A and B are shown apart, each in its own frame.
Chain A
Amino acid sequence: MKTLIVGLGNTILSDDGAGVFVARMLKKDLAGAVDIIEAETAGLDLMEMLSGYERAILVDAIKLDDELPGTVFRLRPDDLKITPRLSSCHDIDIVTALALGRKLGLEMPDEVIIYAVQAADMLTLSEGCLEDVARVIPLLAREITSFVKGEKMERVSIDLSGRRSGNA
Chain B
Amino acid sequence: MKRVEIDPITRLEGHGKISIFIDDDGSVTDAFLQIPELRGFEKFVEGLPVEEIPRIMPRICGVCPAAHHMAAGKAVDAVYNADIPSVAKKLRELYYMAHYVHSHAAHFYALAAPDFVLGPDAPKASRNVLGLIEKVGLEIGTEVLKQRRISQEIQIMVGGRATHPVWNIPGGVTRALSTENRDKVKELAEGQLGFAEFSLKLFADIVLANEGYLDLIMGDVFEQVTNYMGLVDENNKVNFYHGKVRVVDPEGNEIVKYDESEYLQHIAEHVEPYSYLKYPYLKDRGWQGFKEGMGTPLFQANPLPRLNVSDGFATPKAQEHYEKMFETIGGKPCHKLLVNHWARLIEILYAAERMVELINDDEITDPNVRIIPSTTPTEGVGIVEAPRGTLTHHYWTDENGIVTKANLIVGTTNNHASISMAIKKVAQKLIKPGGEVSDGLLNTVEMAFRLYDPCFSCATHSLPGQMPLVVDIMDLDGEVLNTVSR
Q: Which of A74-128 contact B (CB under 8 A)?
A: 81-82, 84-85, 87-93, 95-96, 99-100, 103-105, 122-126
10 pairs of A and B residues whose beta carbons are closest in the complex: A40-B62, A168-B11, A41-B62, A125-B44, A84-B462, A89-B463, A88-B462, A87-B464, A63-B13, A125-B40
CB <8 Å contact, B454 and A89? yes
A44 close to chain B: CB less than 8 A: yes
CB <8 Å contact, B465 and A123? no
B138 close to chain A: CB less than 8 A: yes
Contact-residue bracket for chain A: 35 or more
A166 close to chain B: CB less than 8 A: yes
Docked CA distance A84–B63 (Å): 13
Interface residues in B, total, Cβ within 8 A: 53
CB <8 Å contact, A12 and B465? no
Contacts A88-B462, A100-B129 given; indicate if A12 touches B14 (C-beta within 8 A).
Answer: no
A158 close to chain B: CB less than 8 A: no
Most interface-central of A10, A12, A87 (chain B CB within 10 A): A87
Docked CA distance A126–B103 (Å): 27
B230 to chain A, nearest CB (A): 20
CB <8 Å contact, B133 and A103? yes
CB <8 Å contact, A91 and B36? no
Docked CA distance A91–B454 (Å): 11
Residue of A nearest to B464 (CB): A87
A151 close to chain B: CB less than 8 A: no
B10 close to chain A: CB less than 8 A: yes
**B129 contact set on A, CB distance < 8 A:** 92, 96, 100
Question: A64, A105, A124: which contacts B11 (Cβ < 8 A)?
Answer: A64
Contacts A12-B56, A96-B466, A167-B485 given; indicate if A91 touches B106 (C-beta within 8 A).
Answer: yes
**A126 contact set on B, CB distance < 8 A:** 40, 44
7 residue pairs of the A-B complex, CB under 8 angstroms, read: A11-B59, A13-B38, A84-B464, A90-B111, A92-B110, A92-B111, A123-B37
Q: Which of A53-77 contact B (CB under 8 A)?
A: 62-65
**A100 contact set on B, CB distance < 8 A:** 129-130, 133, 141
**B62 contact set on A, CB distance < 8 A:** 10, 39-41
Residue of A nearest to B470 (CB): A167
CB <8 Å contact, B107 and A90? yes
Docked CA distance A126–B40 (Å): 8
Give per-residue flags for B444-469: 1 if the beta carbon is below 8 A from chain A beta carbons, else 0.
Answer: 00000000011111001111111010
